Amino acid sequence: MQIGEICSFFDQLLELEKFAADPSNNGLQLCFDSTAECGKIAFAVDAALATAERAAAENADLLVVHHGLSWGGGLRRWNGMAGKRLGTMFKNDLSLYAVHLPLDAHSKYGNNAVLANMINLEDREMFFAYHNMDIGIIGNIADALEPEVLAQAAAGSGKDFVLCKSPLKDSPVRRVAVISGGGGADGLESAVAAGADMLITGEFDHTMYHTVQECPIHVAALGHYNSEVHGVQSLQKLVQEKFGTDTVFIDVPTGF
């Protein structure tokens, strides 16, 4: 398939037109020839120098990421760090496709949907409007569980997480909200209002602590990277199964 055809498939699948208010500049951010054949696609969380170099070493034609290079008004200087990243892509004819909020929100392939699958969340509903689009998921656990058990299930076997427990919630968790990445700080009060016993997110920051102490809700933070690796991996699997395209996942965990 051509690079443009693959990207058009992603555009339609992830309904990019619904996210016009997202400042993430979703879609094809860098392309040399959209009619060129796409022999190999690299998938990664971030468009960084490390991922660009490894994608180039893998002879990929297209790099698909969750966090792109262009945000809002876009790049204004093509030097320093941005110059190195773009230079690597230019030198290696590596095109870049980025998809941010649409990949958080997608009900099947999105970061939050996969996290919800990992904890067997039922009766799912979308919640937490961000840039006028609901991107979080809230639902119920069939059998109430302790917060530590749910946090580990969402983080993955052997992976670390941060758990902040509320002194006002001493019963097992049944209703859970999921907001990947850094959305937890903005979405915590929405989770409380929606009756969640626990919020699973990527990051836990200073501002969230007192909300947890004053409201009956626990918060588990899996790490921004660890909570948002699932969407691009889901797209990778889909492309392999649907088109038979050669792919590679480039894992560059940040530890945050």
Closest by alpha carbon to 129, among 105, 165, 157? 105
pLDDT digits (tens, 9 = 90+) for 191-237: 999 999 999 999 999 999 999 999 999 999 999 999 999 999 999 99
Domain covering 3-99, topology: 3.40.1390
Query: Would you state the pLDDT for residue 36?
Result: 96
The pLDDT value recorded for residue 132 is 84
pLDDT at 130: 87
Q: Which residues contact 256 (CB under 8 A, 6 or more apart)?
A: 203, 223, 224, 225
pLDDT of residue 78: 79
Selected residue with higher pLDDT from 76 and 249:
249
Q: What pLDDT does residue 131 have?
A: 82
DSSP 8-class letter at 69: S
Half-sphere exposure for 34 (CA within 13 Å, toward CB): 11
What dotted CATH number matches 104-227? 3.40.1390.30
Question: How far is CA 233 from its chain centroid?
Answer: 10
- Domain ranges in the chain? 3-99, 104-227
pLDDT of residue 79: 83
Q: What is the pLDDT of residue 75?
A: 66
- For residue 163, the cross-strand partners are 220
Say if 3-99 and 104-227 have the same CATH topology. Answer: yes
pLDDT digits (tens, 9 = 90+) for 135-162: 999 999 999 999 999 999 999 988 999 9
pLDDT tens digits, residue range 54-109?
999 999 999 999 999 988 886 677 788 889 999 999 999 999 999 999 999 999 99
